[in-house]
Amino acid sequence: MTEGRGGERVSDDLGQLVDLDRYPIDETGSAARESVVDRVRAELAADGCSVLRGFVRPSLGARLRAEGNDLAPFAYHTVERVNAYNIPLDTELPAGHPGRIVMDRGNAFVARDRIPAGASIQVLYTDSRFRGFVADCFGRPALYEYADPLAGLCLNVVGPGLSHPWHYDTNEFTVSMLTQPPEDGGLFEYCPNIRTPEAENFDDVRAVLTGGGDHLVRRLALRPGDLQLFRGRFSLHRVSPVAGNTPRHTAIFAYSEHPGVIGSVERTRQLFGRVLPDHVAAAGRSARGDRLLD
């Protein structure tokens, strides 16, 4: 948003999408922006998740939905047998280890290279003001788009009867936005900070995976255009089974603290059903700061 010659506020692409009156993410250093950032930080510290309701103007809900429906045919569909740690199912694990519990992953991702530059979610993902706001919310000096040509921005499609089962994200900074709600079910469920970089807390994870950990689970009913900031590397989470006939669509915006992040060949093939030369070239070069599984 910039000042026009007559002093009126002139919208650019970001201003047309985002409710800048409520969330003035473009006004770096302003008290109004600071107060949004402070709120998100407090919520992330308390339970690893913050939701900015109506971040994209509610009047654009139909556009978000239509763009998602145009993209959905490009999703890679497969029902895959997985565990919560996304490690191979034949990994040797001791009896009782929650990684031995196998689930069906039925969600399908549309990869970034299928999402046009003009789509609302691509406009947001690539906007430096949006990225800077996200970095501030996560208390990081800067965040970067993934170098991964497929995984940086995705549309997550969960069809009727399917779910995106319990898992952790590879990334510490997950930002997402519902673009189409299901008729029923399809709730985002999460276990705030159930693990830390130092401790996996397998007992509680096993309780959640076997249905006995309901006291550890929070549930979110999201509306199109709500922005969700989430620390998915430490909070086990899932999308519960979708009911009714309408698939659930979410945009997933993935950023990293370091430039150049590219997914592993195995993970990329699992998620997208294909691998690009960039993934092969990067194999073996990735490094991470903790020793958590996945």
Considering only 26, 136, 169, 200, the residue that binds ligand AKG (CB under 6 A) is 169
Helix (H, G, I), strand (E, B) or coil at 119: coil
Considering only 33, 112, 164, 233, the residue that binds ligand AKG (CB under 6 A) is 164
176 binds ligand AKG (CB under 6 A): yes
Considering only 252, 261, 262, 282, the residue that binds ligand AKG (CB under 6 A) is 252
250 binds ligand AKG (CB under 6 A): yes
d(CA 196, CA 176): 22
With contacts defined by CB under 5 A, how many residues of the chain interact with Fe ion? 2
d(CA 265, CA 268): 5
Considering only 123, 209, 239, 242, the residue that binds ligand AKG (CB under 6 A) is 239
Tell me which of ligand AKG, Fe ion, none is bound by residue 252, counting a contact when its beta carbon lies within the kind-specific cut-off of 5 to 8 angstroms.
ligand AKG
* Neighbouring-strand partners of residue 196: none
Sign, CA dihedral 20-174-231-183, equals: positive
Largest CA distance in the chain: 71
- For the chain, strand residue ranges (E) read 2-3, 9-10, 49-52, 80-82, 103-105, 108-110, 144-145, 153-158, 164-167, 174-180, 184-185, 188-191, 218-220, 227-230, 236-239, 242-243, 248-256
Token reading at 191: 């276990």
Considering only 165, 213, 232, 247, the residue that binds Fe ion (CB under 5 A) is 232
Tell me which of Fe ion, ligand AKG, none is bound by residue 120, counting a contact when its beta carbon lies within the kind-specific cut-off of 5 to 8 angstroms.
none
DSSP state of 29: T
Q: Which is nearer to ligand AKG, 110 or 262 (CB)?
A: 110
169 binds Fe ion (CB under 5 A): yes
Considering only 133, 188, 253, 255, the residue that binds ligand AKG (CB under 6 A) is 188
Per CB under 6 A, residues contacting ligand AKG are 156, 164, 169, 176, 188, 232, 237, 239, 250, 252
Per CB under 5 A, residues contacting Fe ion are 169, 232
